[in-house]
Amino acid sequence: MFLQTPESRCAAMRVMQAWPQVYRSACPSNSASLLSDGFRCGPGWYPLIERLSADIAAILDEMPVPAFRVLQVNQKFGGLRFRVTGSNERILNRIAKAQVEAAHTCEGCGGPSRIRSVDMWLTTSCDPCIERTRPPRR
């Protein structure tokens, strides 16, 4: 529903560059990375992804996990997917917390919402955001 734009790509790059220890495999030149064009979700989730990234950085500072990598950040079935490898329990618990938060946050504007089915799609978007992103009817 939320298409990647140059602005959303820039916003994702800013988050990734702010925490290089979290996103070290995701540099823009690495086109093999699933993060090379940013986060595949709406802008309403960026603040919670930013807080998640800060907390993962703090955990990694405390107990380094050399194999840790973020593989992909996207929306699937209305939920936040934050795929990682080489993780530990504290990081996984923190990601689970962000996923619960995302399930109650509009992917479009960051306001309160919940996962529901709209036009056969699962989404967390609120009504105004659904109207805004809905393709015009013929």
Q: Which one of 11, 103, 109, 115 is in contact with Zn ion (CB under 5 A)?
A: 109
Minimum CB distance to Zn ion, residue 40 (Å)? 18
Residue 80's nearest CA partner among 110, 58, 37 is 110
Distance between CA atoms of residues 110 and 129, nearest Å: 10
The site that binds Zn ion (CB under 5 A) totals a number of residues, namely 6
Q: Does 98 bind Zn ion (CB under 5 A)?
A: no
Minimum CB distance to Zn ion, residue 99 (Å)? 18
Q: Does 129 bind Zn ion (CB under 5 A)?
A: yes
Residue 80 vs 129, nearer CB to Zn ion: 129
Cα 47 to Cα 5, 11, 65, 96, distances in angstroms = 17, 10, 24, 16
Residue 27 vs 109, nearer CB to Zn ion: 109
Q: Does 115 bind Zn ion (CB under 5 A)?
A: no
Q: Does 52 bind Zn ion (CB under 5 A)?
A: no
**Angle of helix 46-62 versus helix 6-18 axis, rounded to 10:** 20
99 burial via Cβ count (<10 Å: 0-12, 13-18, 19+): middle
Q: Does 130 bind Zn ion (CB under 5 A)?
A: no
**Dihedral over Cα of 122, 124, 129, 131: its sign:** positive
Q: Does 126 bind Zn ion (CB under 5 A)?
A: yes
Q: Which two tokens stand for residue 62?
A: 């405390």
Q: Does 78 bind Zn ion (CB under 5 A)?
A: no
Q: Does 54 bind Zn ion (CB under 5 A)?
A: no
| Residues making contact with Zn ion (CB under 5 A) | 106, 108-109, 111, 126, 129
